Structure 1
Amino acid sequence: MMTLHPKIMDLTLDRVWRLLETLGHPERDLPPVIHLAGTNGKGSTQAMIRAGLQAAGKRVHAYTSPHLARFHERIRLAGDLITEDALSALLDECWDANDRQQITYFEITTVAALLAFARTPADYTLLEVGLGGRLDATNVIDRPALTVITPVSIDHQQYLGDTLAEIAGEKAGILKRGVPCVVGPQDDAALEVIEARAASLGTPLLAHGQHWHVWEERERLVYQDESGLLDLPLPNLIGAHQIQNAGAALAALRHLGLDDDACEAAVTRAEWPARLQRLRTGPLVDAAGRAELWLDGGHNPAAGIALAEALNRLPPRPLHLICGMLNTKDVTGYMRPLANVAQSLTAVSIPGEENTLPATDTAAAAEQVGLQAATADSVAQAVADIANQTPNARILICGSLYLAGHILRQNA
């Protein structure tokens, strides 16, 4: 398949539209679509919306990316992960229909997902943007039921622009005329762009801080909008940023008319691996001994801030990081907030990843922000070394979803 991939990644919908037309436009036959974009939090927000809908007895398709351990995680059909046989058949069908014309890996797999969703009865379809929004392969739905934009921050500048306003413009590309959009917390520069785009399209906004509010109070989550107040348990996904993600999910569910029980299920039943996930079983956990082992896939400065805040709220333990990152990321921007909560960082290269940042470069970036740093040949070696030196440590493996996926496979 990669032989048909354009040599330079150019964001365009032309290849997707061509293949969809050949396949009879399956994107026109989907159950009502909720389309999510944003830099951080869109996966967690989607997981909470899905949990709420399913608790209300709804059958839900879901498309997300990237996968962690197995590609099948990207596609859920009416709640269940797609099977190996079904996925293979769909990809073969899309490959034949594409007739060896140029197409990207993400584009053809997105079309395969849309084809599967069109053929399987369900009540809702959740589509998560892969990159940006305006020219993302998922942005082919003329009239979704709802769109959601989670917090926008600086990331993927080589494709989306160098400023927050430019990036927000790409995310706002999922807005559709007259279709309501739930907007999570935003910097002013991003919100101005989203509001201007919405005004030009006549798009009703349900914006954080204006139309809905969410906060933590006495170890409870409190959500308020014009329909009233919800007093709920804290999200089972850890971190103050998950309060905001839960707020966006609740705003979406309330707009869709779901009841309080569904809203509670959204925050208490959602599962989303590698978002400050405590690992409790497996060979790496055994190697850690009495040390805690955690995993997180955040990889940009905003994720670093959110992660540092969440770690600061956990019961005190000496925190040691094992970090591997891609060479396309703002490494020091990600690490700077973590330098205030961690005692050391052990850098690794991401196994099997062509764009990994060498461990020595990751360690140098850590030293630059004031973190004591070393390198290790593998995560397993790093875990064992830290556990031997600090038996009561909290060890966090972090820096990339690609590293997180490798860990979930290795520790299975």
Structure 2
Amino acid sequence: MARSTRWPSPRRLGRGQRSAKACSTCSTPESCEPAMTAPMTARFYDGLHPVAHIVTVKATPAELAATMPDGRVVVRWPTAEIEVVSDAEHEPHALLVCARQPGTRLAIEDEALRQSLAELGGNLARATGRRPRIAPALGGVAAALAITVGVMAFAAEKLPNVVAPFVPYVWQRSLGDSVVTAMTSDMRKCTRPEGQQALQALIDRLQDASSYRRRIDVSVVQNPIVNAFAVPGGRLIVFSGLIDKASGPAEVAGVIAHEVGHVVHHHSMKGLLRAYGFDMVLKLVTGGYSSDVATLGGAGGVLLALRHSRDAEREADQTALELMDKVGMRADGLSTFFGKLLEMQNKQAPGDKGKAPGNGSTKPRDAAEEAGILSTHPPTRERLEATKRPATGAPALSAQEWQALRAICR
């Protein structure tokens, strides 16, 4: 738990001072406002590492602050700018984000804290799943409404799966290009020809073995995060951190094959349709709105919409293994990559190695498992076991191609 600290009266800080420090990281909590909610714990994700940090959360009508056990304030968000991006009514958590700290998020499961946040009003009203009781006389109406909403929810969940493969390719490509521009405009593009050719040749082999009949293009951007993702229209974005941290071409090929699996099953298009609805996406790609992704709430909102369900991740894993088997490629890299993620997760501060937050367990930590239902990805250990394959088959890249890919950003 965070150390006990006496927070000063808000009269010591002017409005201009609070605004200037909004969403900043403080060295000490003495500059923050007094809490209106009782201090409770939540999980903080910094957007750079697959690690959940236990923090103490306090909130006022003006801002929310999250404090690490060592006293550092890692979050100070204006209450009016906080968004609840999870379905708190049906999920046992509230997932909070702030546009001023892209990539970071707070996961709050404590119902008392969620209720306290909801009472602050505004966007935070969605932080709790509690709803007022309906009078017995309205029971029949409520039941009919519940059935109607259930049918609509079922349609909203299932229709994208049916419709997404039939969205015209030119529309998907236009939307995908807008997403890529919004999410990577401030990153340097890595374009050394030899590395680009080696990576594209790998993707072409996997695409030829799949049922996806369009060309799948790839771009590499300089970013230390270990990541890659697919967007509508058959486009893959690979962060240089993935290439730098991979122990060999088999791991890169495993992740790339997984992303090709998302393309084959149109998972990204399904996610955008499910998140924003048919009308919004249709207007965006046909000119009814500006083609800027800002129409959909900015790159951060789109990235959240591109999160895949647990079933979609499993489907992409299975498709990746099938494609690598079809082309006779070594297929053990996907499981070894998951093992590397676990290893990264288990690197903790001295004295805490091997322990999950707060329970003293020596079981290796797992970012997805810690988040439980909050995470849309199956726990990494589960995926590691499901994707284990022998180290047999042809190399994904030759030694020369691998060196060229490693140098693609130089």
Q: TM-score over 0.5 for the alignment?
A: no
TM-score interval, normalised by the smaller of the two chains: 0.3 to 0.5
Say which structure, 1 or 2, has more relative contact order (CA 8 Å, 6+ apart).
1
More strand by share: 1
In the superposition, the TM-score normalised over structure 2's length comes to 0.33
In the superposition, the TM-score normalised over structure 1's length comes to 0.33
- Structure possessing the higher radius of gyration over alpha carbons: 2
More helix by share: 2
